[in-house]
A and B are shown apart, each in its own frame.
Chain A
Amino acid sequence: MNSIVRTLKSKLGGALQKRIALYLLLVFFAALFLTPLFIVISTGLKTFQDARLAAMWTLPPEISFEAFSQAFSRLAPHLRNSLVLVIPATFLSAALGSLNGYVFSKWRFRGSDTIFALMLFGMFIPYQSILIPLVVSLREIGLYGSLGGLILTHVVYGIPITTLMFRNFYAKIPDELLDAGFMDGLELLGAYRRIIVPLSAPGLVVVVIWQFTSIWNDFLFAVTITQRPGVQPITVALQNLAGSQVVEWNVQMAGALLAALPTLIIYIILGKYFVRGMLAGSVKG
């Protein structure tokens, strides 16, 4: 009896130890992942005197917002540029993706699957391979160097991913629902408006979050198309800020946090949808 109790105890002890080890590991990795964020916030909150390399890992002796206010005054115009760029580009590409997704899932025509696959290839290409013609063409139509040109670019190259996401989302809407609508005399666009659009909200949220994040975070198109500082979005401005030798580290870190904040807030509030978009972009639904 005693021996049974002992083995039981050691087994339970083993399980408990395993459990503790599990949580220790999880916390260790969490600390590892959070270290850069800690550095950003801690350095950003330091005064200019305290933000020396040597004091990198120490907490700010006094909390100061001077770095944030300086970073904000430098970056505010670019945050605004990014918003002016991201909002229309996101909604236009979502609208096109929704129409395409509807047709590619519910109105398959001869060759539609092939066309869809060819379209998808567009989301994997290195954009360098279309960059020179893009610049030349945007110059030709007078959109080079403007946010308008950047919006057009993001709308066009957003088509493949938004189409994919909506197509997979609409594929889950039963065909019978549409058939019933057709019986009632609805046609192509009527069925889209009356049946598909009202059911689109969850898919739309995923697509909007995804597009907002990718366009906000884009650097290659932004740095190529917007040369004038006045129209540059936040990523380009942050890169310039960090590249300049005279800007102190606390301002750079505060700037990095400001640039990250919009997408970070969306991620924290709507993380579930963010993950769904991420998986939809890679695993076929």
Chain B
Amino acid sequence: MIRSKREIRKAVLLVAPSIVLVGVFVYGFILWSLRTSVSAWEGIRPDYTFVGLQNYINLFRSTRFQIDLWNTAYFTLFFIVLCISLGFLLAFLINRNVRGEDIFRTIYLFPMALSFIVTGVVWRWMLNPTFGVNVILANLGLPSDWGWYTDPTRIAGFHVALTALILAAAWQFAGYTMAIFLAGLRGIPSEVVESARIDGASEIYIVRKVIVPMLKPITLSAVIVLGHISLKIFDLVMAMTGRGPRFATDFPGVFMFETTFTGNRYGEGAAISIVMLIMVAVVVVPYLYYSFKRED
């Protein structure tokens, strides 16, 4: 394609406003938060007195933040595992020439259209320990004395109360992984599977040695997307449980919000937000880097 220098300059001008906006609102503001995180700012009025890493030191010493990090790790792990396995299973089932495929797909995916607030409000009602899902479990003869989000028990750092949030979040996002895997499965040339079948490979062998390896790249994208959602989780927690008994369902996003806007401890709030940013960046930056490298 032939482009004159003058036209290219005009093209740059066309995207310049967006570049400036993103530059200021994303990168400028991140630097500003970074500056705030090493400041003494407490109270309504900004105070940028430099205090070094004091806010970070206080943060990592505080019990609440340590609990938050454990909660984030466990929530992320179980949320991803549940979404990936359930999503794969649903995609695998739907991909077998199912009649009414559209209806099933629509049902599994509809929670994606909802806000975390709606999900949280509904699941808080469903999992209330007295009359919620426990009643159904009791009718089925299953153990039914679960405390769900009111349970303060902690096993190996894992707060049992997190289960409630994990279930609600997985309900919302399992359809998303299903859609991703379904797109992936449809992308596998049928001759590949057919020829394996003709060679006498068992169904399980085909899944493990043919299908799963071909789905690896999109599984990675799904893990990245789910992972960055769970590292930032805030809305669902606010709507469903809040910080929970003894911070059983507390997360950095909730801690940051309360510290900053309820407690007016801006320096410390900024420090939490920077830790969150670093956690997300560790996951996302390599992913962006490699997907762009692959494109070139």
Q: Contact residues of A with B, CB < 8 Å?
A: 22-23, 25-26, 29-30, 33-37, 39-40, 43, 53-54, 56-57, 96, 99-100, 102-104, 106-107, 109, 113, 115, 117-122, 124-134, 136-137, 156-157, 159-160, 163, 175, 178-179, 182, 187-189, 213, 216-220, 223-224, 235, 238-239, 242, 249, 252-253, 255-256, 259-260, 263-264, 266-268, 271, 274-275, 278-279, 281-284
Contact = CB atoms under 8 A, between A and B. Distances in A.
B191 to A, nearest CB: 22
Given A36-B126, A100-B15, A134-B25, A129 B171 contact: no
B126 A39 contact: yes
Contact of B221 (A132, A263, A283): A283
Contacts of B260: 131-132
B94 A26 contact: yes
Given A132-B260, A188-B11, A217-B114, A126 B123 contact: no
B267 to A, nearest CB: 10
A279 B180 contact: yes
Chain A CB within 10 Å — which of B3, B113, B289 has the most?
B113
A148 to B, nearest CB: 15
B256 interface: yes
Provide the main secondary structure of the chain A interface.
helix
Given A113-B292, A132-B260, A284-B291, A29 B108 contact: yes
Contacts of B103: 30
Given A107-B8, A235-B115, A34 B107 contact: yes
A259 B117 contact: yes
B105 to A, nearest CB: 8
A11 to B, nearest CB: 15
A156 B21 contact: yes
17 contacts: A26-B98, A39-B125, A39-B126, A56-B125, A56-B131, A96-B17, A103-B14, A117-B288, A125-B281, A128-B234, A132-B270, A133-B32, A134-B29, A235-B117, A252-B125, A253-B125, A281-B225
Contact of A256 (B121, B175, B276): B121
B75 interface: no
B163 to A, nearest CB: 16
Given A133-B33, A283-B221, 17 more contacts: A30-B103, A30-B107, A30-B108, A33-B111, A36-B122, A107-B3, A107-B11, A128-B276, A129-B30, A129-B274, A129-B277, A130-B25, A157-B26, A224-B261, A239-B238, A252-B121, A256-B121
A188 B109 CA distance: 40
Contacts of A136: 46
Given A126-B280, A134-B25, A279-B180, A56 B108 contact: no
Q: A-B pairs with the 7 shortest C-beta distances? A: A217-B115, A267-B113, A107-B11, A130-B29, A133-B32, A129-B277, A133-B29
A283 B183 contact: yes
B261 A256 contact: no
Contacts of A40: 122
Contact of B109 (A128, A249, A271): A271
Nearest to B267: A132
Chain B CB within 10 Å — which of A109, A125, A239, A263 has the most?
A125
B295 A278 contact: no
B135 A56 contact: yes
A2 B163 CA distance: 55
B106 A268 contact: yes
A137 B128 CA distance: 41
A122 B22 contact: yes
Contacts of A213: 113
